Structure 1
Amino acid sequence: MTNTATMQEPTTASVISEWRAHLSALGLTAVAILALFHRDVIDMVSIWWNASTFGHCLFVPLLIGWLVQQRLPGLRQLQPVAWPPGLLWLGAGAFVWLLGAAAGVALFRHGALVLMVQGTTIALLGPAVARALLFPLFYAFFMVPFGEELVPPLQLLTARLSMLLLDLTGVPAHLEGIFITTPTGYFEVAEACSGAKFLIAMAAYGVLVCNVCFRSWRRRILFLIGALGLSILANGVRAYATILVAHMTTVDAAVGFDHVVYGWVFFAIIMIIVMAAAWPFFDRKPGDPWFDPRALQSMTVRGRPLSFVAGGALALIVAAPLWLAATAATAEPLPPTLTLPTISGWTRTDAPQAYPWRPRFDGADHFVTARYRNARGQVVDIAIATYARQAEGRELVGFAQGAADPDSEWVWSSPARAPTGALGEQITAPGPVVRHVVSAYAVGGGAPTGSKPAVKLATLKARLLGGDQRAVAILVSAEQTEAQDADAAVTAFLSNLGDMRLLADRAIGIR
């Protein structure tokens, strides 16, 4: 008996020593990732703290810690190994960061941080431990602020749901984009009312419940679909109820009602309803093991020296920012000044705008605006912004950039007509004052486009391969009034302007 215990003791001590060595290497490598990409980390945490849509992300690291803690008894029965194939996932993360940094897509950069930490965990702890931690590793993706692109379609969907319910209850209303007019007042389904934050938070909550409370994939899928669908429907009902209260009482009373039902209290009520409906169908019992350690022990592979794998991880982490720094030196200069075009049949005018409008292009090297009038009395505004090279905080397309500055009173209301190679938007200011804006973007002398993904792709190609990084945005806009059709005015101006590509090339100094 004594001899057996003596023989087992070094084995246990060896496993503990292995865990300490591998966890130390993991911790140091993770710290290196956070330090090297600290700007992206700070940016991501700032979004969590300042944007109510992503406030739930603050809880995700705590939930991941809880999920890992729940798995500790089984993890202690596994032995970590340094596994070089895990570096492929880490390398993929570094490459995604490179793509995100080159294209100016924060979503890619933030997601890449998660991928790199996941890859480091897989490489330095091995496949068995990674499999045991599969769900916590996956759940880390909910730390990434994503879903802002859902806001416009959700605004439109909420507005249409509200209109449907108003029609069913006999309340006279008119819908134009995201604006609803009733005899009581003029209502906007604003970004905060789109329900995006409820939908995103419900996705994070629903996925957690699927793992903790269900074992059947069929039940998980049905629960998640039901939870997401209910959150969209509930937000539409909330918007409808606010308008109905205004119709039956006053707008002030409706605002008070909205303040009561809106926010996390409303979300908590929806979560309670979802959980109450799903409770009878939970099929994971308290105390059920999260994984079978004995089955995972069969995944044990022959590892490589820990220092070798950790060194490879650090090399991959450093390679991406070094490549980007090397290609940044190839940027071409812009012309010293940016001049406004002379348009046949149009003259500059100082006539005041019905409501001040100025598109937003943070960090632009040159930015000019002007107002033109033709002999028919049509009035059009043009804005041109140019960049020698794009970088974080100075991007051609991105959050807050473009026709509707979120810090102004202008808000996006609906798509609008636009020619090929341009983006059409309708924006609205108090009054209401309605504008139609046609936006065209070009990078490195390429053909103008209205596709924001195409702009990001062109920017990515230029920055990744060291191509021409000069970029330009051209916005042509007109007010919609009783005396002027905005689309007709913009069309007439673009017809006299001629080749948009020629104007774009001249703005950045290619011709």
Structure 2
Amino acid sequence: MRALAGHLMDAGRIDLRDTWTRHLAGLLAVAAAILILFAHDVFDLVTIWWTSSTFSHCLFVPLLIGWLVQQRRAALRMIDPTVWMPGLAWVAAGNFAWLVGDAAGVGMIRHFGLVMMIQGAVLGMLGPAVGRGLVFPLCYAFFMVPFGAEIVPPLQLLTAKIAMALLGMVGVPAHIEGIFITIPSGYFEVAEACSGAKFVIAMAAYGVLVCHVCFRSWTRRALFLASALGLSVLANGVRAFATIYVAHKTSVDAAVGFDHVVYGWLFFGLVMAAVMATAWPFFDRKPGEVPFDPRNIPLAGVVARPVSSTVGMALALLLAGPAWSMVSAVRSQPLPVAFGLPTITGWQRSAMPQAYPWKPRFDGADGFVQGRFADARGHVVDVVIARYARQGEGRELVGFGQGAADPDSEWVWSSPASAPGQARGEQITAPGPVVRHVVSFYRVGRGPLTGSAAQVKLATLRARLLADDQRAVAILVSAEDSERHNADAAIGAFLHDAGRVEDLADAAIAIR
């Protein structure tokens, strides 16, 4: 009897190994199809990881996921994998998310869709029981997506305010204007790289991992994560203050040297060490504790289906998004050949040089014109019109690097500025300092004028998903701001005399 039981157990293990082999082969086939069909997005992801210091921590996320799966390997061997149709529904959701990101020109949404498709492939080809065992590694995969760039401007302003508060505490006279701080010995900018965004984003990924590995209590997890993120922001403000304080006590050159020594991943490592040292006594998960118990995972309720047919269904779902994107692309409408700056009553073209060269950035624009106008009252403005027959990857009305402040120039965003209700106002600054106010209007197809990047993306999304009119235009009106010349007054006078900005936009892309 013992021999027979041992034989049956051995046979069961062989069958289970064969089952895992079939399902892993199916998963490999679907994953390979995802990587091939969306190779451009995979390449974009890896390029961002490798070239952007803000998202370099993403390089470690796949390795951490592998480690998390390895922790669960013994428990997973006790589960019989099976195909699961709701998992393929998640593949379809990811494919639609990719299509939305492609239509709106938002790489982050495409990348989220890519991760969702891979998650759905795991769920669809291995089943809900395996999915329950891998729920944290699958969710942690979202940290492979470079997200969080939107918090850079608020963090710049917050870092500057923290530095100003600390300077006031130690009696250093200082003046703040947006992200620029002036003290008697120098002029400092809280640049994008100094905002602390990369520390906050990396700390979020690190903190979530620690919450899972070291804590069982959700209250302790929440307190740890909130403390870690808050300390990252505060520590970066202290670093900015210390740099300015060193300049006040010594010289700007000494402060730059101090900042180069303190700033970077060494600084972040010290912050992480402080966070871990503080939290260590409150860890409530034992080292080496099994992440999950397979005996607690329900295995019933799944209908057995062939692996090969499920792979075929997954491939059909994966092709849907790229196919519709191609259909939408061929239905775009051309732009008129004639294109130039408008004629405005009371304003003349001016050859007066700019105090500091300024040219906004609109990569891939199908038309770009820029000119300077002046009126009899002494107002001077710069006008830019950029237009697109169809937006796409790397050629968008709004996006990273696009717009008033070209990141490859000396112009930097410093603060919001006043603007009409349907426009975006911002203040940008160049060495000198030279201050400039910019009012930006955007229009997609026959939609309303807007200054909101989110509304531009939504209008672009709608036009491309419905294969509608995809022509788009940006109109920027800008003026230098100084004691002698009020930028807002000049911009307001020009817009008043120009009349309806909608008419200027329509003329640029031949809507009417």
- The 3-state SS of whatever aligns with 2:502 is helix
Q: TM-score, normalised by structure 2?
A: 0.99
Specify the code of the residue in structure 1 equivalent to 2:66.
G
Aligned AA (2:484)? A
Residue 505 of structure 1: CA displacement? 0.5
Q: What are the residue-to-residue correspondences of 1:151-170 with 2, within 5 Å?
A: 151-170=152-171
Q: What per-residue deviation string (whole Å, max 9, x for no partner) do you get for residues 243-271 of structure 1?
A: 00000000000001000110000000000
The alignment partner of 2:437 has SS state of strand
Q: Aligned partners of 1:13, 1:193: CA distance in 2, in Å? A: 57
1:256 aligns with 2:257: yes
Correspondence for 2:440 = 439
Does structure 1 retain, via aligned residues, the 8 Å contact 2:71–2:290?
no
Q: SS where residue 285 of structure 1 aligns?
A: coil
Q: Distance in 2 between matches of 1:443 and 1:112?
A: 24
Give the secondary structure class of the aligned counterpart of 1:181: strand
For residues 373 and 487 of structure 1, what CA distance do their matches in structure 2 show? 14
In the alignment, does 2:391 pair up with 1:363? no
Unpaired runs of 5+ in structure 2? none
Q: Distance in 2 between matches of 1:195 and 1:497?
A: 42
Code of the residue aligned with 2:50 in structure 1: it is: W
Task: Please list, as runs of the form range in 1=range in 2, the aligned pairs for 1:74-93 lying within 5 A after superposition.
Answer: 74-93=75-94
Deviations along 1:207-233, one digit per CA (max 9) or x if unpaired, are: 000011111111111000000000000
Q: Is the 8 A contact 1:437 1:475 kept in 2?
A: yes
Which residue is equivalent to 1:317?
Answer: 318
Distance 2:92 2:504 in 1: 41
- 1:348 deviates by 0.1
Q: State the one-letter code of the partner of 1:408.
A: S
Does the CA-based 8 Å contact 1:98-1:321 persist in structure 2? yes
**CA distance in 1 between partners of 2:482 and 2:234 (Å):** 35
Measured against aligned partners, the alpha-carbon deviations of 1:156-188 in whole angstroms (never above 9, x if no partner) come to 000000011111111100000000000010000
8 Å CA contact 1:128, 1:299 repeated in 2: no
Matches within 5 A, 1:28-67: 28-67=29-68
- Match of 2:4, SS? helix
Q: Tell which deviates more after alignment, 185-194 or 23-32.
A: 23-32
Secondary structure, counterpart of 2:363 in structure 1: coil
Distance 2:282 2:484 in 1: 62
After TM superposition, give the deviation of residue 467 of structure 1 in Å.
0.3
Contact 2:346/2:497 (8 A) holds in 1: yes
Hey, what's the Cα distance between the residues in 1 that align with 2:353 and 2:267? 44
What is the aligned partner in structure 1 of residue 284 from structure 2? 283
- 1:165–1:240 CA contact under 8 A, matched in 2: yes
Displacement of 1:444: 0.5
Q: Indicate if the aligned counterparts of 1:127 and 1:299 stay in contact, CA closer than 8 A.
A: no
Question: Which amino acid in 2 is paired with 1:207?
Answer: V
Shift of 1:301: 2.3
Q: Within 5 Å, give how 1:336-485 maps onto structure 2.
A: 336-485=337-486
Q: After superposition, give the CA deviation of every residue in 1:118-161 in whole Å (9 maximum; x if it has no partner).
A: 01100110001000001100110000000100000000000000
Tell me the equivalent position of 2:304: 303
- Uncovered stretches (5+) of structure 1, i.e. residues with no partner: none
> Which amino acid is 2:133 matched to?
A
Match in the other structure for 1:506: 507
Measure how far apart 1:299 and its partner are.
5.0
Residue 298 of structure 1 deviates from its aligned partner by 3.7
Q: Distance in 2 between matches of 1:219 and 1:482?
A: 54
Matches within 5 A, 1:208-247: 208-247=209-248
Structure 1 residue matching 2:476: 3-state secondary structure: strand
Matched AA of 1:26: L
Shift of 1:93: 0.4
**Are positions 1:267 and 2:279 aligned together?**
no
Equivalenced residues, count: 511
Letter in 1 for 2:195: S
Write the distance in 2 (CA, Å) between the matches of 1:488 and 1:20: 72
* Matching residue of 2:494: 493
Relative to 1, partners in 2 of residues 1:253 and 1:299: Cα closer, same or farther, differing over 3 Å?
A: farther
Cα deviation, 1:34-81, whole Å, max 9, x if unaligned, reads: 111111111111111111000100000000000000110100101100
- Secondary structure of the corresponding residue to residue 373 of structure 2: strand
Q: C-alpha distance in 1, partners of 2:116/2:351?
A: 53
| Separation (CA, whole Å) in 2 of partners of 1:74 and 1:479 | 66
Q: How far apart in 2 are the matches of 1:500 and 1:44?
A: 38
Secondary structure of 1:79's counterpart equals: coil
Aligned-residue offset at 1:310: 1.5
Structure 2: how far apart are the matches of 1:194 and 1:289?
39
Q: Is the 8 A contact 2:95 2:113 kept in 1?
A: yes
Q: Deviations over 1:472-491 (max 9, x none)?
A: 00000000022110000000
What's 2:202 paired with? 201
Residue 300 of structure 1: how far off its partner (Å): 6.1
- Aligned partner letter, 1:384: I
Letter in 2 for 1:374: D
Partner of 1:129: 130
Contact 1:344 1:496 in 2 (8 A): yes
CA–CA distance in structure 1, aligned partners of residues 391 and 350 of structure 2: 32
Distance 2:446 2:76 in 1: 56
1: CA distance, partners of 2:304 / 2:150 = 43
Counterpart CA distance in 1 for 2:104 and 2:300 is 39
Q: CA deviation at 1:193?
A: 0.3
CA drift at 1:88:
1.3
| Distance in 2 (alpha carbons) for counterparts of 1:384 and 1:403 | 12
**Match of 1:382, SS?**
strand
- Structure 2 CA distance for aligned equivalents of residues 300 and 121 of structure 1: 18
More off after superposition, 117-126 vs 293-302? 293-302
Q: Distance in 2 between matches of 1:339 and 1:290?
A: 64
SS of match in other structure, 2:478: strand
**In the TM superposition, what whole-angstrom CA distance separates every residue of 1:84-103 from its partner, at most 9, and x where no partner exists?**
11111111100000000000
- The letter for the 2-side match of 1:287 is G
1:15 maps to amino acid:
L
Tell me how far apart the structure 2 counterparts of residues 354 and 299 of structure 1 sit (CA, whole Å): 74
Larger mean Cα displacement after TM superposition, 421-430 or 293-302: 293-302
Cross-structure match for 1:172: 173
TM-score (norm. length: structure 1): 0.99
TM-superposed deviation, 1:297: 4.6
Task: Give distance in 1, aligned partners of 2:224 and 2:42.
Answer: 33
CA contact (8 A) 1:332 1:469 kept: yes
Where 1:420 maps in the other structure, the secondary structure is coil
Report percent identity of matched pairs: 65
**Helix, strand or coil: the match of 2:475?**
strand
Please report how far the alpha carbon of residue 28 of structure 1 lies from its aligned counterpart in structure 2 after TM superposition: 1.2
The one-letter code of the counterpart of 2:19 is E
Between the aligned partners of 1:281 and 1:337, the Cα distance in structure 2 is 69
